[in-house]
């Protein structure tokens, strides 16, 4: 049976226009009850952005619909199950949570259910990166852990390199994003830990330079611009033209609801050529699903490189922890042929499990990740919050940070079925300018394009994660700094924030803190 995920058939995206408008989208799964014309008419006014900022909108305090959870005041605010989860579902959630927190050990081990770590890895558990299911951070000093942040790496593909199915498909759409391949020595990411007897691949080095930004009203802000390099390389030099891209672990809430948004609703906002002339030209990411064996819409990750929660989870097990699983079955994880000691070392896939985490375990972790609840909004009727909302909308932020959607009707996932949700994202790729560019293409995303991240829960970051670092590499030390780093398609909105009255700027930040 197909999963609830919306699969984009090759024939459905045979024209570039179809990839943008979703006009020929085909849902190939069997678990969705298709929308009727009358239902679409009911949904349209509900999801239309408001023009009234005198009071909160109906249901605005429940950003995840019936799945919303109460807003706790402690660090566990992101670790609650969906508010509408069943008793049986809550049991599966707790089992998945146990696997999410489990510390993996090296092979061979007497704890057969937990062996298979590495040999090269970034963390020993999912929880080590997503502490309290929240946001990772860059190291705050020489002694601070880098465990919630790592470097992706790739090299330009040789001109005669065989094309993958997705690359051939994108070329048929006229897409000319440069092709890449994993680094020949280091694979797709830098693993900075290793088991005894193995060398770590290296250590991420970050150097910052600061620049001051003048704001209206005599205010100023200071931005720190990072540069990245690999120190202590353990397996020789990086490949020619190697591109490094830093990534912090994103927060985990609301993932199942994002997965349940109809692909046609996301594709309807795409405008690759900026046909409407508003300066915003979001593009859908297109990726290959190893689970569905088909081309799909990318939704998850900083460049939307994963189509589903399950594939994002499976890729993290393989790349971050070195744990083989039904989707990525290599017991050596991300190790390359240049790392034969890693490939030939002992692994934990020799028993009845088949892979180091089996299908049941992967499904439980997926269920847990899919059902981490979104906390209720706070202070929605506060005058500053309401004015900040007006500023957010009128400044043009909603051109990318789409406020609302209604999810699919699902026959087997009541928690995510037919909910009015408020993630504040269009889940498309946008050019954010040279300041934020990592200069590393990924799939259809160029070196300056990023997926619009959801904003729900962003105001609870300090409470949950103990810091206020934002953006893909944590360079922004506050929400204001994150806004000021916006360039490219968001440059005009960013300039309006710089120029607006200081009171409006403060209210804008107050509004973001209420999400």
The tens digit of pLDDT for each residue in 414-469 reads: 999 999 999 999 999 999 999 999 999 999 999 999 999 999 999 999 999 999 99
DSSP string, 334-398: T--TT-HHHHHS--S-SSTTSSSS-HHHHHHHHHHHHTBPPBPP--TT-HHHHHHHHHHHHTTGG
Three-class SS string for 260-325?
CCCHHHHHCCCCCCCCCCCCCCCECCEEEECCCCEEEECCECCCCCECCHHHHHHHHHHHHHCCCC
Return the pLDDT at 72: 97
pLDDT band at 48 (very low <50, low <70, confident <90, very high): very high
12 pLDDT higher than 80? no
185 pLDDT higher than 80? yes
pLDDT band at 1 (very low <50, low <70, confident <90, very high): very low
Distance CA 310, CA 327 (A): 9
Tell me the per-residue pLDDT of 198-234, one tens digit each, with 9 for 90 and over.
999 999 999 999 999 999 999 999 999 999 999 999 9
- CB burial of residue 279 (10 Å; 0-12, 13-18, 19+): middle
Distance CA 23, CA 263 (A): 11
The domain limits of the chain are 1-515
5 pLDDT higher than 60? no
Strands 193-194 and 120-121: antiparallel
Distance CA 120, CA 112 (A): 19
Distance CA 440, CA 445 (A): 9
Return the pLDDT at 173: 81
List of residues 6+ apart from 394 with CB closer than 8 A? none
Return the pLDDT at 195: 97
pLDDT band at 142 (very low <50, low <70, confident <90, very high): confident
Distance CA 79, CA 72 (A): 10
Beta bridge partners of 227: 207
Does residue 264 contact residue 25 with C-beta atoms inside 8 Å?
Answer: yes
């Amino acid at each position: 049976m197909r999963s609830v995920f919306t699969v984009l058939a090759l024939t459905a995206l045979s024209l570039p226009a179809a990839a943008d408008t979703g006009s020929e989208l085909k849902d190939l799964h069997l678990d969705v009850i298709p929308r009727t014309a009358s239902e679409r008419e009911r949904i349209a006014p509900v999801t239309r952005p408001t023009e009234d900022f005198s009071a909160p909108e109906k249901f605005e305090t429940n950003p995840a619909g019936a799945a919303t959870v109460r807003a706790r005041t402690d660090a566990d605010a992101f670790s609650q199950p969906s508010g509408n989860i069943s008793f049986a579902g809550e049991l599966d959630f707790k089992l998945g949570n146990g696997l999410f927190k489990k510390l993996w050990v090296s092979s061979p081990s007497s704890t057969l259910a937990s062996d298979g770590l590495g040999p090269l890895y970034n963390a020993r558990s999912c929880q080590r990166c997503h502490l309290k299911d929240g946001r990772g951070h860059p190291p705050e000093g020489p002694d601070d852990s880098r465990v919630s942040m790592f470097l992706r790496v790739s090299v330009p593909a040789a001109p005669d390199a065989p094309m993958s199915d997705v690359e051939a498909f994108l070329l048929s759409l006229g897409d000319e994003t440069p092709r890449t391949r994993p680094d020949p020595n280091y694979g797709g990411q830098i693993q900075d830990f290793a088991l005894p007897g193995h060398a770590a691949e290296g250590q991420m080095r970050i150097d910052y330079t600061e620049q001051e930004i003048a704001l209206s009203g005599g205010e100023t802000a200071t931005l720190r611009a990072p540069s990245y390099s690999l120190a202590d390389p353990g397996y020789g030099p990086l490949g020619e033209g190697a591109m490094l891209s830093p990534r912090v672990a994103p927060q985990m809430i609301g993932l199942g609801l994002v997965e349940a948004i109809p692909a046609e609703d996301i594709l309807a906002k795409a405008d690759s050529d900026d046909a409407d002339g508003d300066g915003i030209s979001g593009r859908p990411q297109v990726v290959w699903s190893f689970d569905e064996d088909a081309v799909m819409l990318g939704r998850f990750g900083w460049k939307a490189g994963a189509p589903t929660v399950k594939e994002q989870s499976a890729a993290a097990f393989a790349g971050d922890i070195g744990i083989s699983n039904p989707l990525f079955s290599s017991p050596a994880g991300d190790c390359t042929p240049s790392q034969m000691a890693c490939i030939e070392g002992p692994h934990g896939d020799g028993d009845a499990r088949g892979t180091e985490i089996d299908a049941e375990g992967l499904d439980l972790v997926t269920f847990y990740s899919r059902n981490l609840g979104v906390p209720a909004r706070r202070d929605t009727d506060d005058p500053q919050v309401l004015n900040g909302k007006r500023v957010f909308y009128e400044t043009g932020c909603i051109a990318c940070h789409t406020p609302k959607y209604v999810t699919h009707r699902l026959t087997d996932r009541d928690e995510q079925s037919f909910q009015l949700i408020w993630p504040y994202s269009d889940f498309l790729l946008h050019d954010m300018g040279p300041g934020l560019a990592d200069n590393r293409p990924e799939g259809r995303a160029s070196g300056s394009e990023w997926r619009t991240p959801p904003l729900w829960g962003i105001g609870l970051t300090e409470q949950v994660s103990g810091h206020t670092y934002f953006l893909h590499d944590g360079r922004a030390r506050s929400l204001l700094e994150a806004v000021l780093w916006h360039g490219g398609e968001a440059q005009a909105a960013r300039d309006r924030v710089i120029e607006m009255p200081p009171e409006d700027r403060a209210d804008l930040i107050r509004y973001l803190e209420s999400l």
